[in-house]
Amino acid sequence: MRPISILLLVLLASCGGSSSPKATFTERRAVAFEAGISVGPAAGSDTHPVGDTPTDISAVYVVSFDIDGIGPVVDATLQLTRVANSGAPEGLAPLVVDHIDAGAAADVGDKTSVALTAAAHTLGGLGPWTLDVTSLVQADQGAGRVRSAFRVQFTTTTDGDGMTDAMFFGSAVNPTLTHRPTLEVTYEVP
């Protein structure tokens, strides 16, 4: 049986490369997370809130990843992990994940900058949320941007009740590694 299996693998590889005489390879890695900021209220270092505050200020979360120097992207997945909750943030829904150009480093201006694209995201419970951001990271690459950045926020900035209503997401320095945001990219290697 083993020789037959090997033959099939070679055949599949030949078919897969039929559109190009040049072989390509893919490699999977998690691009290093470099910046996570909570825009608006002060936040603890382990988590960042998305929602509102006791003073009725909106809290948004911006994540930014270095994609400089990698080959053509074929797949990209953003993972954010909701680790805690306060009040009733669902009342501020829908939640959107905006693709933004945060430049070299995310800052307060990224709270209100015009999104490149915005998409409503189904609210998840506690635990990891994954989003297919392939086309967005490819767009960054096509535009020559060296970072991919995303802004997580509710479309209703506050419910005005003078109480915190927020989801808390793991930050880039969360002591639990699996709680940190990641951008996993598969790209071609020449």
Are the C-beta atoms of 50 and 154 separated by less than 8 Å? yes
Site string for Ca ion, 27-66 (x = CB under 5 A): -------------------------x--------------
Whichever of 49 and 181 has its CB closer to Ca ion, that residue is: 49
Distances in Å between the Cα of 86 and the Cα atoms of 16, 55, 67, 116, 167 are 49, 14, 33, 30, 6
In the complex, the smallest distance separating the C-beta of residue 159 from Ca ion, rounded to whole angstroms, is 5
Given the rule CB under 5 A, which of 24-32, 68-76, 132-140, 164-172 is the region that contacts Ca ion? 164-172
Whichever of 93 and 116 has its CB closer to Ca ion, that residue is: 93
**Which residue from 151, 165, 174, 180 is in contact with Ca ion, where contact means CB under 5 A?**
165
Q: Rounded distance, CA 52 to CA 101, Å? A: 24
116: alpha, beta or left? (left if phi > 0; alpha if psi -120 to 50): alpha
Q: Rounded distance, CA 90 to CA 113, Å? A: 24
Q: Name the strand (E) or helix (H) holding 46.
A: none
166 sits near Ca ion (criterion: CB under 5 A): no
140 sits near Ca ion (criterion: CB under 5 A): no
90 sits near Ca ion (criterion: CB under 5 A): no
Q: Which residues bind Ca ion (CB under 5 A)?
A: 52, 159, 161, 163, 165
